[in-house]
Amino acid sequence: MLGKYERKQKTVNPYEGNRVNRGVAVLGNRVFFGTLDAALVALNARTGAVLWETQVADTMLGHSITAAPLAVKDMVITGVAGGEYGIRGFIGAYDAPPENACGASTRHPALVNSAALPGRAKAGSRAAEPRGSPAATMPS
């Protein structure tokens, strides 16, 4: 192990149930990862210094990033988790050197425009009705 990096959440997501991070993306001398408070972070792979950080979505509505981002050429692609809380999921692509977002798209548009629901969805409840984006990787 070259080093260890720990980032304190800036905002604690009240819907945070999945306290996981499923990995990082490496592009050249940079390491990218998403956070539970829906930020995308770039580190220098050799020194561990933070190169940049950008807020991808509003964690207070239920957004978080639990999946590993994908690095392609000079882009970092990430999606958000939180469909079980009623958020509209999306996939965003970000320039790897600066933090400029170059676009985001919703693969599965929300069936109901609503704020995140408190608590967890239970089978058969209104909260379990289709809404938001259950997963960006689902076929459309």
Which has the higher per-residue pLDDT, 96 or 66? 66
Question: Is pLDDT above 80 for 127?
Answer: no
Evaluate if residue 35 carries a pLDDT over 80.
yes
Q: How many CB atoms lie within 10 A of CB 97?
A: 13
Q: Measuring CA to CA, how many Å separate 81 from each of 4, 28, 49, 56?
A: 25, 27, 26, 11
Identify the domain containing residue 65 by its residue range: 25-128
What φ, ψ does residue 127 adopt, rounded to 5°? -65, -20
Question: What's the confidence (pLDDT) of residue 130?
Answer: 53
Residue 60 pLDDT level (bands cut at 50, 70, 90):
confident
Please tell me the distance from the alpha carbon of residue 57 to that of residue 116, in angstroms, as a whole number. 13
pLDDT score, position 75: 86
Answer whether residue 61 is part of any domain: yes
Has residue 17 been placed in a domain? no
Residue 68 has pLDDT above 70, yes or no: yes
Asked whether residue 135 carries a pLDDT value surpassing 70, the answer given is no
pLDDT band at 86 (very low <50, low <70, confident <90, very high): confident
Is the pLDDT at 100 greater than 90, yes or no?
no
Query: Which residue bears the tokens 């909260």?
Result: 127
Quick check: is 34 in a domain?
A: yes
Domain count of the fold of the chain: 1
Q: The domain spanning residue 91 has which CATH number?
A: 2.40.10.480
